[in-house]
Amino acid sequence: MNTQLLSRIKAETRKVDEIILRVMGSGLPSELFEASKHLLQLGGKRFRAYVVLASCGAAGGDPTLAYNTAAAVELIHNLSLIHDDVIDRDARRRGHPTTHTVWGIPISIVAADFLMPKAYMCVLESQGSVPDDKLLHVIRKLSTAGAELSQGQAMDIVFEKASRVTDEEYFLMASKKTAALFGASAWSGGMIGEATEAQAEGLERYGFNMGLGFQLVDDILGVTGDESLTGKPLGSDIRQGKKTLVIMKAIEMSDGGSREVLMSLLGKHDATESEIKTAVEIVGESGAIPEIVRLAENYAQRALDSLNKLELRGGTDTLVELAQMAVEREL
């Protein structure tokens, strides 16, 4: 764990948090404002926000100009989490009760809705300091990524009912749900930092590949994650019937009896603790996890390869560290 990078992220994204809270403002009903802020105030890595800032810096720009867009990206991410939790009926995230657990489903649905226009208002805070045409570009990129995010969430939902999904289906889902916003974050940061078109596209590929690696690792945590570390209950993806690549691979790589058991427990919402434990053990014994870790590291490497020949004026040291962190995390 790169604790030095983590504390840099924390320090630099504090300004981003300030922008978020200022643009969100306060008002009536207080329930809406509290619910909208709930997850943001429980922490979170601000990883995507930092991808924006680091990409701006790598392009040779002044990262402070990218604070507002970083805030927008973080809001888009957070609103998707609020609705994800409602949809999955997840009671806990980041080690705390989820938004709807505290504020109820109706308020949580509109609390997330509230954050989307606020994300655009964050971007618009840069009017005057970033040229208008560039802001419109950023708004277009974030809109595309935002729509793809919903598309990815919808695939995730549909896949829960499917008995299996192919690798291609999984990667399409992960591209939409996670990688697109990472890519848009890096692209936007680069654009604000005066990157050329080619450099911004390279940065987008960097972010996109890193996002895929990030998601693969996140999926492992969705199975093996220890609540004290990840904030999510052990085996939550198994209970939910998520068709993540690590679960699909574990089914593929397990032998007869174990495979049957794992398949029967996948999506069993009322599974007992001990059944979930069994399923997690089967995934562990299948050999799928090291395979997914290797794959995630491959994507991190592809992310770095995307930076080759871009000749970024601001250097790529931080981007390299970030790509490594994306696939390491709490494994």
Where does this chain bind a second copy (CB under 8 A)? Answer: 27-29, 31-32, 79-80, 83, 86-87, 105-107, 109-114, 116-118, 120-121, 124, 127, 132-133, 135-136, 139-140, 142-147, 149-151, 153-155, 157-158, 172
Contact 179, 208 (CB under 8 A): yes
Least separation in angstroms between residue 145's CB and a second copy is 8
Task: Tell me whether residue 79 or residue 312 sits nearer to a second copy (CB atom).
Answer: 79
Nearer to a second copy, 117 or 290 (CB): 117
Chain mean position to CA 258: 31
Taken in order 188, 193, 194, 198, the sign of the CA dihedral is negative
Distance of closest approach, residue 187 Cβ to a second copy, in angstroms: 15
Least separation, in Å, of the C-beta of 116 and a second copy? 5
In the bound state with a second copy, the residue whose beta carbon lies nearer, of 1 and 158, is 158
| Nearest residue (CB) to a second copy, 109 versus 331 | 109
The 10 Å Cβ neighbour count of residue 137 is: 17
Q: For residue 114, which of 23, 193, 48, 42 has the smallest C-alpha distance?
A: 23
Minimum distance of a second copy from residue 109's CB (angstroms): 5
Whichever of 212 and 296 has its CB closer to a second copy, that residue is 212
CA-nearest of 218, 222, 178 to 90 is 222
Smallest distance from the beta carbon of 317 to a second copy, in angstroms? 33
Q: Cα dist. 85→1, 16, 99, 102 in Å?
A: 27, 24, 8, 12
Residues near 315 by Cβ (< 8 Å), separated by ≥ 6? 58
